[in-house]
Copies of this chain bind each other. A is one copy, B any other.
């Protein structure tokens, strides 16, 4: 049971995410430049790392063609994601952090190595299925829920739906959502779409009506 460095684990997470982008079910080949962008490094560094990860059997790497995760690699990526999200639940549910404060701490905690710890943490938290940002938590087998969530920007006038997740998880964005009441579980109705700037007028929890920009609406996931 090889153990990966922090950096290697972060590459795995990023490759996983990029490979699932756009088509939710399907898996896409991930390119070197894409990874370089996401890891904030240069393509040369990525090539280096891809060789390492391929040698460890974590990715299928055909030079110049991009990479996909192996079964082993996907399990590794899902485990890191599982740990990240479980720790986020712990921080919010047990230590009363707010949802905009937990990401950076979880970035550290996700690298702690102990299967037993993850198992017991999961149990302690009551086997949660979603993290504080609405992202599904893989179970021990790597399985997780996949609600077919829709960006708020794509809703039509008159539609009603629940806020079930966010794309951006930066404190700045999350704090703003707190302020306007658009947190996970909020029930909203689209009352108007302003053509000029594609902003939305929505009614939150059958109460206050607010206007949100397309940038905001493009970072909120809804269901129904």
Residues of A whose CB lies within 8 Å of any CB of B are 91, 94-97, 101, 104-105, 108-109, 112-114, 116-117, 120-121, 124
Contacts and interface: CB of A to CB of B under 8 A. Distances in A.
B97 A108 contact: no
Contact of A117 (B95, B117, B120): B95
Number of this chain's copies in the complex: 2
Nearest to A117: B105
Query: Which 5 residue pairs spanning A and B have beta carbons closest together?
Result: A95-B120, A108-B112, A105-B114, A95-B124, A105-B117
Nearest to A123: B95
Contacts of A117: 91, 95, 105
Contact of A121 (B95, B104, B120): B95
Nearest to A108: B112
A188 B94 CA distance: 38
A124 B90 CA distance: 11
A211 B69 CA distance: 57
A112 B114 contact: no
Nearest to A105: B114
A94 B109 CA distance: 17
Nearest to A119: B95
A27 to B, nearest CB: 32
Contact of A112 (B94, B95, B105, B121): B105
Contacts of A95: 117, 120-121, 124
Contacts of A113: 108
B120 A96 contact: yes
Given A95-B117, A97-B116, A109-B112, 13 more contacts: A91-B117, A94-B124, A95-B120, A95-B121, A95-B124, A96-B120, A101-B116, A104-B114, A105-B114, A105-B117, A108-B113, A108-B114, A112-B112
Pick the most buried of A95, A96, A124: most chain B CB atoms within 10 A of its CB.
A95
